[in-house]
């Protein structure tokens, strides 16, 4: 296994066990079979600072590739939900926040989630308050070839967004504003096409934040972006492992 892949696997182990970098090295050194697969020597594992610096050294597109591959392992149905959530970026040390002049306390993540396996297909992160109407089309455009419908709330409702997504040959399901007869009729048709599955994105967010972490521990914004992408990729891997384990137990009980 190449060094880059080994470091990515080590980051997933750290995310799974919630270790710091020193504990990660100790844990890996106690697993000779894992060290052999990763190409590490159990008696001389990498220094903790090596794992720390590798997280910021690898570009964001590498972590996005991990997210994309982890999502592709799930069945693809083409019906997705477009939504946004926030992650806390406050540190335990208020002195550090004041010294670096950090005033933004959250990072906004706009995600594209398959409503069947609840796998996150893509994520867009920003520190400033970028409007949903700008972030939404960017996320949809990256996965347009595999999509049939996109369900979103009224925060993504805009005629520019609607025509941009329609140009990608993807049906855009978003409620119309107002209480006119035309808006009511259109909203009823949209709900019949699967708009009601949009709330599944909230279920995915709740699962991630309860079982993983809703706060970002890295100090620098670019490491925090990578942390969010890795968080969703790790969640996809966990869902896949749980599904495979359930299938194997079912097969064993049948036999």
Write the DSSP assignment of 128-165 as a string of letters.
Answer: S---HHHHHHHHHHHTGGG-SEEEE-GGG--HHHHHHH
Q: What are phi and psi of 217, to 5 degrees?
A: -90, -20
pLDDT in tens, 167-206: 888 888 887 777 777 778 877 887 888 888 788 888 888 8
pLDDT (tens digit per residue) in 124-158: 988 876 677 778 888 888 888 888 888 888 878 77
Of 146, 169, 178, 168, which Cα lies nearest the Cα of 79? Answer: 146
Structure tokens at 216: 């970002």
Encode pLDDT of 209-226 as tens digits: 877 666 677 778 888 889
Neighbour count for residue 183 (Cβ, 10 Å) = 13
- Over residues 92-119, the pLDDT tens digits come to 556 666 676 666 678 888 899 998 888 8
Strand, coil or helix: 20: coil
Buried b (16+ CB within 10 A) or exposed e, 203-240: ebbeebeeebeeebebeebeebbbbbbbbbbbbbbbbb
Which of 185, 177, 119 has the alpha carbon at shortest distance from 146? 119
Q: How far apart are CA 178 and CA 173, in angstroms?
A: 16
pLDDT in tens, 166-177: 888 888 888 777
Max CA distance (Å), the chain: 73
CATH class of 76-246: alpha beta
Instruction: State pTM to two decimals.
Output: 0.82
For the chain, the domains span 3-58, 76-246
Q: Is 242 helix (H, G, I), strand (E, B) or coil?
A: helix
pLDDT band at 253 (very low <50, low <70, confident <90, very high): very low
CA–CA gap between residue 9 and residue 206 (Å, rounded) = 25
If one counts every other C-beta atom within 10 angstroms of the C-beta of residue 141, the result is 14
pLDDT at residue 95, rounded to an integer: 65
């Amino acid at each position: 296994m190449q060094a880059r892949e080994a470091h990515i696997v080590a980051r997933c182990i750290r995310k799974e066990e919630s270790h710091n970098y020193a504990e990660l090295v100790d844990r890996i050194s106690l697993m000779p079979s894992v060290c052999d697969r990763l190409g590490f020597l159990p008696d001389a594992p990498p220094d903790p600072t090596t794992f720390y610096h590798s997280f910021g050294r690898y570009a964001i597109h590498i972590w996005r590739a991990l997210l994309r591959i982890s999502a592709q392992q799930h069945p693809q149905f083409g019906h997705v939900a477009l939504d946004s959530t926030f992650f806390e970026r406050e540190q335990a040390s208020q002195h550090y926040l004041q010294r670096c002049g950090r005033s933004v306390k959250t990072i906004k993540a706009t995600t594209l989630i398959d409503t069947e396996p609840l796998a996150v297909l893509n994520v867009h992160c920003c520190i400033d308050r970028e409007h949903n109407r700008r972030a939404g089309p960017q996320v949809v455009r990256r996965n347009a070839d595999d999509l049939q419908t996109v369900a979103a709330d009224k925060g993504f409702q805009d005629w520019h967004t609607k025509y941009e997504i329609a140009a990608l040959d993807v049906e855009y399901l978003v409620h119309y504003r107002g209480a006119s007869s035309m808006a009511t009729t259109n909203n009823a048709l949209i709900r019949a096409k699967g708009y009601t599955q949009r709330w599944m994105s909230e279920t995915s967010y709740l699962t991630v934040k309860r079982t993983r972490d809703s706060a970002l521990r890295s100090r620098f914004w670019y490491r925090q972006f990578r942390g969010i992408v890795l968080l969703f990729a790790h969640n996809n891997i966990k869902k896949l492992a749980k599904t495979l384990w359930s299938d194997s137990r079912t097969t064993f009980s049948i036999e």
